[in-house]
Amino acid sequence: MLSVLLPIALHAGLSDPAALARETKAFAGTWAVTGMVMNGIEIPEGAYKGMRFEFAENKVNAYHGKDLIADGKFKVVAVVGKKVWFDIAMGKGPDEGKTFPGVNVWIDGKAFKSCLAQPNQKRPVEVVSEANDRRAVFELKRMDK
């Protein structure tokens, strides 16, 4: 059913600007990575321990410890229930200028799961990563509220 709703939400504008702004604001803050899967493989905690994402308005920064490892512009493009579809246009680094489509699913106001596809891949409908799909799934928990 969501595979039918997503194109409608994205192309027919079912998500009004107020809903998009509300969801963008809900992500504001610092989020610790508490779980990670890439290409269908669960990543050991030691590899992502100390990783966090900081969202502020339409910007996102990714850190590992004190090191900035990625930055970009975050744009919510559709909202259907607890699912939020977004784009991240990367800033500095090897992916500069590339746009990564994704979907977040709220667990509650303090946690969500995120699936990020590669540029030029179809936008994820579910938060899942399978073998060789080049998708990353993150579990995130709010740090600052």
Residue 83's pLDDT is 95
72-89 pLDDT, tens digit each? 999 999 999 999 999 999
Task: Tell me the two tokens of residue 64.
Answer: 């590992």
Q: Which residues pair with 56 in a beta bridge?
A: 59
Instruction: Give the CATH fold of the 2-142 domain.
Output: Lipocalin (2.40.128)
Q: Taking residues 83-102, report their average pLDDT.
A: 93
In one-letter notation, the amino acid at residue 15 is S
Whole-number CA gyration radius for the chain: 14
Q: Which residues pair with 74 in a beta bridge?
A: 88
